[in-house]
Amino acid sequence: MQIYNSMTRKKETFVPVREGKVSMYACGITAYDLCHIGHARSAIVFDVLARYLRHLKYDLTFVRNFTDVDDKIINRANELGVDSKEIAEKYMHTFHEDMDRLKVQRADIEPKATENINEMIKINEKLIADGNAYATASGDVYFRVRKFAEYGKLSGRSVDDLRSGARVQPGEEKEDPLDFALWKAAKPGEPYWDSPWGKGRPGWHIECSAMSERYLPLPLDIHGGGQDLIFPHHENEIAQTEACFGKNFCNYWVHNGFVQIDSEKMSKSLGNFKTIRDILEYCLPEVLRYFLLTRHYRSPIDFNFMAIDEAEKNVKKIYETLKAISLLLAEDAKADAKSSAVKLPESFTKELKELDDAYWAALDDDLNTAAALGHVFGIVHLSNRLLEDKKLSGTVEARALLKDIQAKFVEYSKVLGLFDEDPISFLNQLKLFRLQKKNLKVEQIEELMNKRLTARQNKDFALADSLRKELEDLGLEIRDTASGAGWDVV
């Protein structure tokens, strides 16, 4: 597999340290609020990467942490007058609820910062003993950035440039404005742990150094997160870990791009934060997951409701084809199918193989889900061509090909986490969801449909037409077929 490494700034062939085994660590959420669409993207990207590595038969151990002690959590708890533990637990729970809906599989190990305090203290002690860190009189511990010669290697920043922009905040006893906190003396009312430097709590960066080293062998094969974590978080993780353990921290750094909202950066100050829950009021979880995978993971992605509508249309198209395939295969093979003089042109089989190869090649090329989904659509079009040709679709060869397509979709769904619902129930679910968005009820529609049927049976075409118009005005599409009238939500 080719994967882009943020450290070397190029695509590289992925070779794990230990043959057949892969260790992957992704930075998880700080549990102080509901997850937004940026969290969804990052979780889905690393979920697909984990699924793909398993498809390649690697024995993967995937660790994703929870930051359950942090300034943001403490501030939120103080605002609400509750314990910070309560806040962290609530939002770790909502993370799982949201991610389960989006079919993000749980990581193999999901450690919490507060369960790894001793490991962090040990790293701090070693860093201090080696002169890479120092404790201040008030009980803070700082990392001595100037001691780590390679500082800035991931983000490509020079220590001199960083120093010119850095300031020491009032109350900080840093030797150098660049130094960052490994341990913070507890202020009154804050959660604390006993340490050699008095009561305190860990800085943010140190937890990932402690947890990755505790649960995975170093060097890690893959360390991931959003691009916003490159500096300072990942840069600081590298400095701490490499200074402490004296070995390379990680071989492949993988970062996903930002999510923008209506072409603007998502930020609290712009008030344009979209939580996963907000969006799932508007679309089904599979539509959101599909939308987020329609762009390459390193590109920025622009969220807007029109793009979600487009994604919904495409997911529906795919399921409609899957439904048509399963309905056709459920019918008994036509008696004359074998003896039919009609032959399935070889081009169909050839095209399917090309599209299938291209699908897997796209994922192998730096996890290009956007291109892979393009090839999925190629297969959908191929299937539709076959399904629409009644003479061809009845042949034994065509049925075998469609069965093969069905089997291929099972494999695709294992990696993408898409298209794994029963097509008929998914399409029904989508129809009801769209109806609900229009504040309509099935019974209400069925009643109008029945009235229209009666009017048609009574040859009262004027009434039948006005009922049709009424249904269309509600935003429905009416289809009259040989087997009766059906409706769908536009």
Q: Please pick, from the candidates 24, 113, 154, 208, the single residue that binds Zn ion as defined by CB under 5 A.
A: 208
39 marked among binding-site residues: no
Binding to Zn ion, residues 245-274 (CB under 5 A): none
Number of residues that bind Zn ion (CB under 5 A): 2
Contacts with Zn ion, 58-77, as mask; x by CB under 5 A: --------------------
Cβ distance to Zn ion smaller for residue 209 or 321: 209
Stretch of 19-27, 253-261, 333-341, 369-377 lying at the interface with Zn ion (CB under 5 A): 19-27
d(CA 271, CA 365): 36
31 binds Zn ion (CB under 5 A): no
Minimum gap (Å) between residue 124 Cβ and Zn ion = 17
Cβ 180 vs Cβ 122: under 8 Å: no
109 C-beta neighbours (distance < 10 Å), count: 15
Q: What does the alpha-carbon distance between residue 4 and residue 13 come to, in Å, rounded to a whole number?
A: 9
Residue closer to Zn ion (CB basis): 49 or 373: 49
Shortest Å, Cβ 489 to Zn ion: 43
Least distance from Zn ion to the Cβ atom of residue 233, Å: 6
Name which of 407, 378, 387, 383 is nearest 328 in CA terms: 387
Looking at residue 485, its amino acid is: A
- Distance (Å, rounded) from C-alpha 374 to C-alpha 368? 10
Q: Which is nearer to Zn ion, 208 or 250 (CB)?
A: 208
Q: Counting Cβ atoms within 10 Å, is residue 180 exposed (0-12), middle (13-18) or buried (19+)?
A: buried
Nearer to Zn ion among residue 76 and residue 205 (C-beta): 205
Choose the binding region for Zn ion from 201-209, 315-323, 384-392, 429-437 (rule: CB under 5 A): 201-209
223 is in an annotated binding site: no
Tell which positions 322-361 bind Zn ion, by CB under 5 A.
none
CA 279 to CA 288: how far, in whole Å?
8
Determine the interface stretch with Zn ion among 75-83, 208-216, 260-268, 287-295 (rule: CB under 5 A): 208-216
Contact call for residues 455 and 467 (beta carbons, < 8 A): yes
Q: How far is the CB of 157 from Zn ion (least distance, A)?
A: 18
Whole-number minimum distance, CB 471 to Zn ion, in Å?
Answer: 54
Cβ distance to Zn ion smaller for residue 29 or 362: 29
Do the annotations mark residue 27 as ligand-binding? yes
Q: Which stretch binds Zn ion (CB under 5 A): 26-34, 77-85, 86-94, 190-198?
A: 26-34
The CA distance from 71 to 67, in Å, is: 11
In the complex, least distance from residue 221 CB atom to Zn ion, rounded to whole angstroms: 16
Q: Based on CB atoms, which residue is closest to Zn ion, 49 or 352?
A: 49
CA–CA dist 448, 348 (Å, integer)? 43
Q: Is 265 annotated as a binding residue?
A: no
Give least dist CB 27 to Zn ion, A: 3
Residue 237 assigned to a binding site: yes
Q: How far is the CB of 159 from Zn ion (least distance, A)?
A: 21
Closest approach of Zn ion to the CB of residue 5, in Å:
17
Sign of CA pseudo-dihedral 341, 342, 347, 353: negative
Of 3, 24, 26, 27, the one binding Zn ion (CB under 5 A) is 27
Nearest to Zn ion of 208, 467 (CB atom):
208
Taking CB under 5 A as the binding criterion, the range among 74-82, 207-215, 257-265, 347-355 that sits at the site for Zn ion is 207-215
**Stretch of residues binding Zn ion (CB under 5 A), selected from 172-180, 200-208, 337-345, 396-404:** 200-208
Annotated binding site for ATP: 268
Annotated binding site for Zn(2+): 27, 208, 233, 237
Residues that bind Zn ion (CB under 5 A): 27, 208
Annotated binding site: 27, 208, 233, 237, 268
